[in-house]
Amino acid sequence: MTGVSARIVLGAGLASGLAATLALASLLPATANAAGAAGPTVVELFESQGCSSCPPANANLNAIADRPDILALNFAVTYWDNLGWKDTFAQPTFTARQWDYARAAGRGQVATPQVIIDGHDTVVGNDAHQLAAAIRASHRAASAPAIVRNAGGVTVAEGSVATPATVWLVRYDPRTQLVPIRVGENGGRTLPHRNVVRSLVAIGTWTGRAQSYRIAQPAEPGLREAILVQAGKGGRILAAQRL
C-alpha cells in the first residue's frame, strides 16, 4: 500500500498512561446498562508499538475495554514497522482499514494514534477529553438493524440503508497483553494492550432485508467475536454486536 503516513505528536504536557486512564474514567462515568438494540458504540484505535505517542492512547482504550456500552478495538498498523520496531500485532488489513477511513473522509494521509468513533468521528487517541466527548456525542439511527446469533452464524434483521453495507466479523483478544519493546521510540518500555484485534473478515453484504451470514470457523480459544454492519468502506457503523 502506498500513501503518506504520519504520527500525531502532542506537546510537553503529555499525561502519563495512568493519568490518561483516570481522566477518561472520570469523563465517562461507569454504567451498568448494556448497549441498546443498535449495539455498543464502536471505538477503533489505530496505533503502533513503535509510536512514542501511542502508549497514552492504549491506556485510554484499556480504560474502557470492559464497558458493556462500548466495543473498544485496538488495530495495530504496519507503517511504523520499518522504523526500528516491528509491531507484534500489526497486519496489512488493519492499515488498509485506516486508509479506507481516510479516503472516505477525503484525508490524504493516515496517522497514529487515531480513534474512529462509530465509523465517522475522528479524534486524537491520547486526548481523553476529545475521546470522551466523541463517545458521548455518538448515536445511531432508530432504523439500525438488530444482530442476532444463530446456529451457523448471525442474522442481521431488516432495516434501512442507503447503500449496501459490509458485514464484518471481528475477532479480538480481551486479555491484557504485556509487550516488552526492545528498540525504537518505545525501546525499554513494556506496554499493556487490551482488545487487540487479531482478525477482520467481511462475511457478506447487507442491503436492508433480513439476512443470515455463516461463520465458517470457530474463534481461537481466548478470543471474542463481534459483528459490525458498516456503510460501504470507511462509512458509518450502522449496528454492532458482541457475540
Q: Spell out the domain ranges in the chain.
A: 4-242
Whole-number Cα distances in Å, 215 to 38, 200, 209, 241, 243: 21, 12, 19, 15, 11
Question: Do 27 and 21 contact (CB within 8 A), yes or no?
Answer: no
Q: What are phi and psi of 212, to 5 degrees?
A: -105, 150
Give me the pLDDT at residue 60, please: 94
Per DSSP, what are the bridge partners of residue 72? 43
Cell numbers describing residue 96: 488498509
Which residue stretches of the chain have pLDDT < 70?
A: 1-25, 29-37
Give me the pLDDT at residue 15, please: 40
DSSP assigned state of 216: -
Give me the pLDDT at residue 12, please: 28
Give me the pLDDT at residue 162, please: 83
Query: Residue 145: is the preceding peptide bond cis (ω within 30°)?
Result: no
Give me the pLDDT at residue 161, please: 86
Give me the pLDDT at residue 188, please: 92
Give me the pLDDT at residue 20, please: 54
Give me the pLDDT at residue 147, please: 95
Give me the pLDDT at residue 25, please: 65
Give me the pLDDT at residue 184, please: 87
Cα separation, 202 vs 228, in Å, equals 9
CB atoms within 10 A of CB 43: 27
DSSP assigned state of 101: H
Give me the pLDDT at residue 24, please: 67
* pTM (two decimals): 0.89
